[in-house]
Chains A and B, each alone.
Chain A
Amino acid sequence: MTAKVETVGKCRILRVGGRIDFESALDFEQRINSMMEEDADCFVVELSEVELLSSAGLRVLLSTAKRISQRQASLGLAAPSEVVRQVFEISHFNLLFKIFPSVAEALTALQGPNATIQTDEPAEEASLSETASLAEKTESSAPVAPVVRTPASPEIRGVESSRTPLPPSVPIMRSTQEPPATSPPRPSAVPEPSNGPGTLLAQPPPLPRATQIPTGSRTSEPPVAPPLVPRPEAKYPAQLEVRAEGTSYPCKDGDVIGTEGQLAKAYFRQISNLAPRHLLIGQLDGRWFVFTPKNVQHPFILDGVPLRTGERKFLQFVEHQAEFSGHVFGLRLVQEQPKEGLFSRIFGRKKQG
């Protein structure tokens, strides 16, 4: 897999090529994390040179989209190759993501059509010069260079009128008024009731209807940021639990997440590339913290920020979101209720003094 990060105005672009598969998904995630280290309003992942995007890559994209939506920023996928487009259609990612035929169109839609970026250097990438109004700065990915800032934020407008119409063969990114860009009827598997031998033949599934599309998920308008809701602070004393795939796993001081850990083993054993002791969970003065040992190469991401190795991170909110290699799980602090004995419950609390 190859990857290169560029900055254009307030957008960061990750150009990916090659195979995003089981082996390289972690590298892909690290590249995305690098892209997201710098503050930016929008992020674009360019996929024209991607030969394979497996489910491991889809996981990374989905968790990235969730993180970006928490940051009130926007994410666009640009120029997917035919193979990638097929994968998006089957997985319905084309209904979840804003997908554009080119990086230039993604930038126009996400930044606004009149975004004029003041840069010190001329544009270097030919493909980005498609948008004449965008002067840009192209930077190498490692180390991540500071984002070139505009003197004032570019105006964000509706972009329907300014977007280049797509050719009919490109079933990506339509406005909500148009019929959904769905895949042609594909064969679907109809499993046999028994576990024995069986042959499954192609059967066309019903076409998805417009009502099945999540509202607002495919508009090309710049997303309207939802109002910021303050995160509720945790109230100590509290119990900590890991929440994954609908199950809660109570934590105790000294728990370990990793291949040697016993906490939520059924969930964490699905995650490859975990270190034996990837994340330690502990309590200090009654407050919960997580700790990443120094030998861990790829720390968990907590609330969108990679954890630093060798440092305790105290949990201060009721809900925290952790992720690794495309797997997302929650850490929730549940306030402890004061324990009352039988007599207290019957006769009331003993009064002090």
Chain B
Amino acid sequence: MRQSYSYEIRNQPTALQGLQQELDLTLFADLKHSVLRGTILLVIDELVSNLLKYGFSAAPDQRSYLKVAFDDEWLEIELKDNGHRFNPLLRPEPNLVGQGLSDRQVGGLGLYLVLKMMDEMHYEWIQPWNCLRLRKRINEGCK
């Protein structure tokens, strides 16, 4: 059975905290599987924190809509925002191979983690909205 949850995120400093509280009361009250919870938490934390830091400017009317849905086969996360136009799929991947501790740059992993956690990614710009849709196939163990 497909379950779906929708949230609105305002351009406010406490938006992420508020969203997490809402998630705990709704989605995570229903969803107990730790890996699935962890994936959703990570994706939302990275995307929304990135949006609040870089995507929004001072305009208070900027906002974002988040939708999380899952059934027996797929987890889907959709984020729509009217911040700066930004396609995360075009961001170059960090160079992680063959780097020792001293060479390794601190930072730059957030969006990379998100894209690697998910199986399908789709981005579209529909003026003035960035529309990002991510899908992940749910393993047997996650049901």
**Partner pick for B89 among A53, A66, A191, CB 8 A cutoff:** A191
Chain B residues, CB < 8 A from A81: 34, 38
A192-B89, A198-B122, A202-B120 given as contacts; is B16 within 8 A of A23 (CB)? Answer: yes
Stretch at the interface among B4-12, B60-68, B75-83, B95-103: B95-103
Per-residue contact bits, chain A 239-265, to B (CB 8 Å; 1 contact, 0 not): 000000100000000000000000000
Residue A22 at the chain B interface, CB threshold 8 Å? yes
Chain A, 112-128, CB within 8 A of any chain B CB: none
Chain B residues, CB < 8 A from A66: 101-102, 106
A196 CA to B39 CA in the complex, in Å? 27
Per-residue contact bits, chain B 1-42, to A (CB 8 Å; 1 contact, 0 not): 000000000000000110010000000000000110111011
B113 touching A55, Cβ below 8 Å: yes
Residue A217 at the chain B interface, CB threshold 8 Å? yes
B123 touching A197, Cβ below 8 Å: yes
Chain B residues, CB < 8 A from A326: 106-107
Chain A residues, CB < 8 A from B91: 191
A83 touching B38, Cβ below 8 Å: yes
Distance to closest chain B CB from A159 (angstroms): 21
B101 touching A86, Cβ below 8 Å: no
B109 touching A82, Cβ below 8 Å: no
A62 touching B104, Cβ below 8 Å: yes
A245 touching B105, Cβ below 8 Å: yes
Of all chain A residues, the one with the shortest Cβ separation from B53 is A272
Per-residue contact bits, chain A 192-218, to B (CB 8 Å; 1 contact, 0 not): 100111111110000010001110010
Of all chain A residues, the one with the shortest Cβ separation from B108 is A55
A199 CA to B53 CA in the complex, in Å? 26
Of all chain A residues, the one with the shortest Cβ separation from B39 is A83
Residue A69 at the chain B interface, CB threshold 8 Å? yes
Chain A, 78-101, CB within 8 A of any chain B CB: 81-84, 86-87, 90-92, 96
Residue B73 at the chain A interface, CB threshold 8 Å? no
**Partner pick for A55 among B98, B107, B120, CB 8 A cutoff:** B107
A90-B116, A199-B120, A245-B105 given as contacts; is B100 within 8 A of A54 (CB)? Answer: no
A51-B37, A92-B96 given as contacts; is B90 within 8 A of A195 (CB)? Answer: yes
Chain A residues, CB < 8 A from B41: 19, 21, 51-52, 54
B115 touching A189, Cβ below 8 Å: yes
B46 touching A195, Cβ below 8 Å: no
A55-B107, A327-B106 given as contacts; is B35 within 8 A of A82 (CB)? Answer: yes
B124 touching A197, Cβ below 8 Å: yes
Per-residue contact bits, chain B 118-138, to A (CB 8 Å; 1 contact, 0 not): 111111110000000000000
Chain A residues, CB < 8 A from B107: 55, 59, 270, 326-327
A65 CA to B105 CA in the complex, in Å? 12
A325 CA to B102 CA in the complex, in Å? 18
A51 touching B87, Cβ below 8 Å: no
A4 CA to B119 CA in the complex, in Å? 36
Of all chain B residues, the one with the shortest Cβ separation from A272 is B53
A26 CA to B15 CA in the complex, in Å? 18
Residue A56 at the chain B interface, CB threshold 8 Å? yes
Of all chain B residues, the one with the shortest Cβ separation from A326 is B106
Residue A77 at the chain B interface, CB threshold 8 Å? no
Of all chain B residues, the one with the shortest Cβ separation from A269 is B53
B16 touching A22, Cβ below 8 Å: yes
A51-B37, A186-B116, A192-B89 given as contacts; is B16 within 8 A of A214 (CB)? Answer: no
A66-B102, A212-B98, A214-B100 given as contacts; is B49 within 8 A of A22 (CB)? Answer: yes
A69 CA to B105 CA in the complex, in Å? 15
Residue A63 at the chain B interface, CB threshold 8 Å? yes
Chain A residues, CB < 8 A from B115: 189, 200
Chain A residues, CB < 8 A from B16: 22-23
Chosen A-B contacts, 7 in total, with CB atoms closer than 8 Å, are A21-B20, A56-B49, A65-B101, A83-B39, A198-B122, A198-B123, A202-B119
Using a CB–CB distance below 8 Å, which chain A residues touch chain B?
Answer: 19, 21-23, 51-56, 58-59, 62-63, 65-66, 69, 81-84, 86-87, 90-92, 96, 186-189, 191-192, 195-202, 208, 212-214, 217, 245, 270, 272, 326-328
